Amino acid sequence: MAREEKNLVTTPRMTVAGFTAIQKPTLDFNKTTLEYQIKVALEADARGAAAWLKKMEALVDAEFDAVLEENPKLKKVLKKKEVGQVEYDDDGEETGRILFSFKQKAEITYKDRKTGEEKVFKKTVGLVDSKGQHIKKPIKAGPGSEVYLSFEPNAYYTAKDKEVGMSFNRLAGVQLMKLVEYEGSGEQSAEDMGFAQHDEEDGFDAGAFTDDQDDGDGGADEGEDEF
């Protein structure tokens, strides 16, 4: 069921708050589907935040009313899910930010109306800079980077949970306004893993290896995915 607007909507300015995969898709949580994704945070008092949140909530309200109109018996059990997720700090206090996870499947399977043949339509997510120029060079935008997002609102109803909410799974584009480069390697340090340093004369020393002794897989290190 989907009665939301079909036009693209632009978010207020948001801050990258987690993993991103915009230039190259990655596997979803269940490791079954390739998707583009970006986790962002919205300051509740940011410019345009209140109006944008109100618009999203209005779409959820419209879906809620439509579901009840079709099935009045749900009046006592139907509920609405909050738009976004409130962020809390380590002390359990609200930070004043709301978290969102935007996604887009990299491939959509459909049946050709004329032939009935199953086909695959590949989707991409556009990435542009502050001037609207397409970014083609691989970049690593980490937490703290600032973006605007373009997406198609998708209000939904799940019969199993008797719940109406807003899904952000139709991401169309990202405008990168401020770049904070991701510097992590995706690896934990020896100290983080609880290992000590051992100064044994015959101990293995990786620094003694030369480039020609590399395993030759040619792949990037895990955790170094492009934006």
pTM: 0.76
Map out the domains of the chain with their CATH numbers: 9-183 (2.40.50.140)
Note the pLDDT tens digit of each residue in 72-99: 999 999 999 999 999 999 999 999 999 9
What CA–CA distances, in Å, run from 37 to 80, 134, 217? 24, 18, 27
pLDDT of residue 188: 55
- How do residues 186-208 score in pLDDT, each as one tens digit? 555 566 566 777 777 767 766 66
> Which pLDDT band, with edges at 50, 70 and 90, does 169 fall under?
very high
pLDDT value at 114 more than 80:
yes
CA separation for the pair 227, 225 (Å, rounded): 7
Question: How far is it, in rounded angstroms, from Cα 206 to Cα 4?
Answer: 57
State whether residue 174 is helix, strand or coil.
strand
pLDDT mean across residues, the chain = 86
Mean pLDDT, residues 205-225 = 51
At 223, is the pLDDT very low, low, confident or very high (cuts 50, 70, 90)? very low
How far apart CA 35 and CA 107 sit, in angstroms, is 8
Burial classification of residue 54, based on how many CB atoms lie within 10 Å of its CB (0-12 exposed, 13-18 middle, 19 or more buried):
exposed
Q: Which pLDDT belongs to residue 224?
A: 45
Reported as half-sphere exposure (CB side, CA atoms, 13 A), residue 218 has a value of 0
